[in-house]
Chains A and B, each alone.
Chain A
Amino acid sequence: MKFLKTLAAGVALAAGLATTAFAADPLKVGFIYVGPVGDLGWSYEHDQGRLAVEEALGDKVETSYVESVPEGADAERVITQMALSGHKLIFTTSFGYMDPTLNVAAKFPDVKFEHATGYKRSDNVSTYSGRFYEGRTVLGHLAGHMTETNTIGYIASFPIPEVVRGINSAYLAAKAVNPDVKFKIIWVFTWFDPGKEADAANALIEQGADVIMQHTDSPAAMTIAEEKGIFAFGQASDMKQFGPNARLSSIIDNWGPYYVARAKAVLDGTWTSQDTWDGIAPGMTKIGEFSDKIPAEVRASAQKIADDIAAGNMHSFTGPINKQDGSAWLAAGETADDGTLLGMNFYVEGIEGDLPQ
């Protein structure tokens, strides 16, 4: 009896496989988010990217997502579950998923993985990230113009190169238009904690900041800025509804085009493992609409910066620039190479305070 059962199952399986080979099954694309889609920041924009894939490719794809997945062992399980349940392209959207993604990729060689903001690749794992620092240059330029107290508050999450790049590029741009500008930086050691971010925003405002920049995921700082009547920038998403008066502009992560391109590559069979680091030019980093509160000539100059960066005429880190301790880093006209930027762990000259180590 058992033998017959197994035989029957085997036949059914074979038949099933045969039929699926003929039918054009939609490509199952999975997304793993580190936060809730409702954070209206980082994870929200990734989900927008997912929706773009659905819209562009219609019934050739079937997308699904799991949100608020903690990094670590749990992540590995969720990614494995996705791979087991037939997803052939999986996007893991946080740095901390790096090793779990690679572990699962090793066990499922026919599944393609895309890991955001990581640096390890393999035959079926690609990495991608945005040159957010290019956007910071534009925002820093705006902040430098719009501040009246010459104090800009910066809410930073973790002292990783990505965040340090953002601080440095914003500072350089602000200083270029306003030599007296000072940055006050608070490290909150979290990506998403509205309470802490609000407290940090309040502390910065109390110490005289009238423009707030953030590298954290919630709209808390924007809400506080609105309440206190100062300026702020949206991070990862526009955040206009939280700060109709406060919001000057924003950096919007625009993952859609990249996600659609990669999904198409899997469908075409042209997918290969690669590293993508795109900024303003390919549209991955979008600058949000400039607020009316910004004077027309500043809006024009900011737009010019954005266009210059996009055209390749300008680089966010162009010498002469020294490191914070005074040692020379970039000579006049020299631009920073990607390698240094990837591992950036120092402040540029002029920023006060120490980088937490």
Chain B
Amino acid sequence: MFQLEKRPQPSRFWIGVTPILAVIATMIAGGALFWALGKDPLASIRMIFYDPIFGEFAFYYRSQILTKAGPLILIAIGLSVGFRAGIWNIGAEGQYIMGAIFGAAVGLAAFPVEGWYIFPAMVVAGALGGWVWAMIPAILKNRFGTNEILVSLMLVYVAQHVLSSASLGLLKNPEGYGFPGSRNLQQYESAANLELFAGTGIHWGVMAALMAVIAAYVFMTRHILGFQVKLTGQSPRAAMFGGVIPARIVVFCLGLSGALAGLAGLFEVSGPAGQITIDFASGYGFTAIIVAFLGRLHPIGILLAGLLMALTYIGGNVAEQQAGLPSAAIQAFQGMLLFFLLALDVLSNFRLRRTKRERA
């Protein structure tokens, strides 16, 4: 019989190794899944993991990986701070949407005036939109003790309807023949979030993500508030004795993750997506949760995990087009990746020990 014995300290070796093992295990299991579906497993795995980086059109795919990873990393960094404190913001998708709406609204209101100040104003509005949306579960949690998981989640659906309503009414393009959707911000020079270096796919959102990674690293390791956040997560009682006010941590964590999610939404709507439409939201808020966990809630880990997830998305597109693999296959893939990581994670916190069964 095997028994799990808690390690006194999480094993650093296993923390580093488990993600790699998880990826390998996913490749094997994913390959088996594809084989069961009648697709060539090796070719499919190659299309998903190898082609986007080294394949024929990799010059295009590589830039797309960065573009796709930007919002994921940005949101995940914000979420990870909250998750470390045990504050589960599941509604990042809603905050992302609201950030996009607020930011786009500022941009559209300014149209057709050109000016250097318009884009920064949109950025502020985007962060504000996400922050406001996250404050709702924060206030409800502090004041009434309501579970932030469910409130933030319900607000996602509310946000989706607000988005619908905005695309059809408030933000609708007056020159759009009555079709839903706002003006295209990519074509409005002061508001557009275009590539900073041609062909690399790096836009302001990607830059913001990188800055967030560095800032989060410094914050969590050097700043007293970062320490308090970690302490709250490990032991709420010790934190209280240490002088941490739980309500402040809640407001801070939810506010930060909301603002970052809102920023990601703004960068996306003024960049790759281009306009406010009914189905603007593509699930980044939820995928970012996965990215946060894959990255072990550590900024550098999140950076790598974000790139990995983006790779699977892009690779999935490639496989979809070249092998007829359904787009849903990638979701199953990503779920499996997380499963394997969670399963293997036990090895970093616990040691496997063989015990003799006691005979009575």
Query: Which of A96, A159, A344 is the one whose CB lies under 8 Å from B168?
Result: A159
Q: Do A85 and B279 have beta carbons less than 8 Å apart?
A: no
**A66 touching B320, Cβ below 8 Å:** yes
**Contact mask A101-114 → B, CB, 8 Å, 1/0?**
00100000000000
| Residues of A with C-beta under 8 A to B280 | 72
Contacts of B241-297 to chain A: CB distance below 8 A: 268, 272-275, 277-280, 282
User: Which B residues, 172 to 200, have Cβ-Cβ distances below 8 Å to chain A?
Assistant: 177-181, 184, 186
The reply to whether the CB of A82 lies closer than 8 angstroms to some CB of chain B is yes
B268 near A158 with CB under 8 A, answer no
A323 at the interface (CB under 8 A from B): no
Pair B169/A357 contact, Cβ less than 8 Å: yes
Chain A residues closer than 8 Å to B320, beta-carbon distance:
66, 78
A72 near B168 (CB under 8 angstroms)?
Answer: no
Q: Interface residues of B toward A: which range?
A: 20 to 34
Residues of B within 8 A of A77 (CB): 64, 314, 317
**Does the CB pair B318–A343 fall under 8 Å?**
no
A99, B317: Cβ atoms closer than 8 Å? no
* In-complex Cβ contact of A357 among B57, B164, B168 (8 A): B168
Q: Which residues of B contact A345 (CB under 8 A)?
A: 178
Question: Out of B177, B268, B272, B326, which one reaches A76, CB within 8 Å?
Answer: B272
| Cβ A99 vs Cβ B327 within 8 A | no
Partner of B177, one of A71, A80, A343: A343
Query: Is residue A73 contacting chain B, with contact meaning CB distance below 8 A?
Result: yes
Query: Is there contact, CB below 8 Å, between B282 and A74?
Result: yes
Within 8 A of B (CB), among A233-276: none
Contacting pair A70 B282 (CB below 8 A): yes
Q: What are the residues of chain B within 8 A of A189 when measuring CB–CB?
A: 164, 278
Partner of B57, one of A78, A81, A158: A81
Residue A310 interfacial (CB < 8 Å): no
- A277 in the interface (beta carbon within 8 A): no
Q: Which of B318-344 contact A (CB under 8 A)?
A: 318, 320-322, 326-327
A74 touching B184, Cβ below 8 Å: no
Whether A161 pairs with B179 at a CB distance below 8 angstroms is yes
Q: Is the CB–CB distance between A72 and B273 below 8 Å?
A: yes
A99 touches B272 (CB 8 A): no
CA distance A64 to B273 in the complex (A): 25
Residue of B nearest to A96 (CB): B277
Is A74's CB under 8 angstroms from B168's CB?
no
Q: Would you give the shortest CB distance from A33 to chain B, in whole angstroms?
A: 12
> Digit string of A328-350 for contact with B (CB within 8 Å is 1, else 0)?
00000000000000111100000
Chain B residues with CB under 8 A of A343:
177-178
Is A158's CB under 8 angstroms from B168's CB?
A: yes
Q: Closest approach, in angstroms, between the C-beta of B344 and any C-beta of chain A? A: 31
- Check A119–B57 contact: CB distance below 8 A: no
Closest to B318 in A: A81
B274 touches A78 (CB 8 A): no
Bound-state Cα–Cα, A158 to B314, Å: 30
Distance to closest chain A CB from B287 (angstroms): 13
CA distance A75 to B321 in the complex (A): 12
CB-based contact A99/B282 at 8 Å: no
CA distance A103 to B195 in the complex (A): 14
Given known contacts A160-B180, A343-B178, A356-B168, is B273 in contact with A81 (CB within 8 Å)?
A: no
Q: Which of B31-53 contact A (CB under 8 A)?
A: none
Q: Judging by beta carbons under 8 Å apart, are A344 and B184 in contact?
A: no
Q: Does B60 sit at the interface, judged by CB under 8 A?
A: yes
Partner of A99, one of B164, B169, B275: B275
A71 and B279 in contact, given A99-B186, A344-B178 (Cβ under 8 angstroms):
yes
Inter-chain contact A72/B279, CB cutoff 8 Å = yes
- Chain A residues with CB below 8 A from B164, complex form: 189
| Smallest CB separation, A266 vs chain B (Å) | 20
Closest to B322 in A: A85
A303 within 8 A of B: no
Which residues does chain B contribute within 8 Å of A14, judged by CB atoms? none
How long is the Cα–Cα vector from A103 to B184 in the complex, in angstroms?
11
Question: In the bound complex, do residue A81 and residue B179 qualify as a contact, i.e. CB atoms below 8 Å apart?
Answer: no
Q: Tell me which residues across on chain B come within 8 A of A344, comparing CB atoms.
A: 178
Contacts of B274 in A (CB 8 A): 72-73, 99
Alpha-carbon distance between A23 and B277 when the two chains are bound, in angstroms: 44
Whose C-beta in chain B lies nearest to the C-beta of A82?
A: B321
Q: Are B317 and A81 in contact (CB under 8 A)?
A: yes
Q: Is A84 an interface residue (CB 8 A)?
A: yes
Please name all residues of chain A whose beta carbon is closer than 8 Å to the beta carbon of B179 when the two chains form the complex: 95, 119, 160-161
Pick the residue among B178, B277, B282, B321 that contacts A160 (CB under 8 A). B178
- What CA separation (Å) do A96 and B274 show in the bound complex? 12
Determine the chain A residues whose CB is within 8 A of the CB of B57 once the complex forms: 81, 84-85
Whole-angstrom distance from the CB of B45 to the nearest CB of chain A? 18
Given A70-B282, A71-B279, A96-B279, verify A342-B177 contact (CB < 8 Å).
yes
B282 partner residues in chain A, CB cutoff 8 A: 70, 72-74
Q: Which residues of B contact A78 (CB under 8 A)?
A: 317, 320-321
A80 contact set on B, CB distance < 8 A: 60
Give residues 39-97 of A contacting B (CB, 8 Å): 64, 66, 68-74, 76-78, 80-82, 84-85, 95-96
CA distance A81 to B60 in the complex (A): 9
In the assembled complex, the CB of B330 is this many whole angstroms from the nearest CB of chain A, namely 12
Contacts of B62-86 to chain A: CB distance below 8 A = 64, 67
Whole-angstrom distance between the alpha carbons of A73 and B326 in the complex? 18
Closest to B320 in A: A66
Asked if A70 and B279 sit within 8 Å, CB to CB, the answer is: yes
11 more CB-based (< 8 A) A-B contacts, given A78-B317, A161-B177: A64-B321, A66-B321, A68-B327, A73-B272, A77-B317, A84-B57, A85-B322, A95-B179, A119-B177, A158-B168, A160-B180
Instruction: State the 10 A-B residue pairs at the shortest beta-carbon distance, nearest first.
Output: A73-B272, A345-B178, A161-B178, A84-B57, A72-B273, A73-B273, A343-B177, A81-B321, A343-B178, A160-B179
A-B contact pairs, 6 of them (CB 8 A): A64-B321, A71-B277, A74-B282, A78-B317, A158-B180, A356-B168
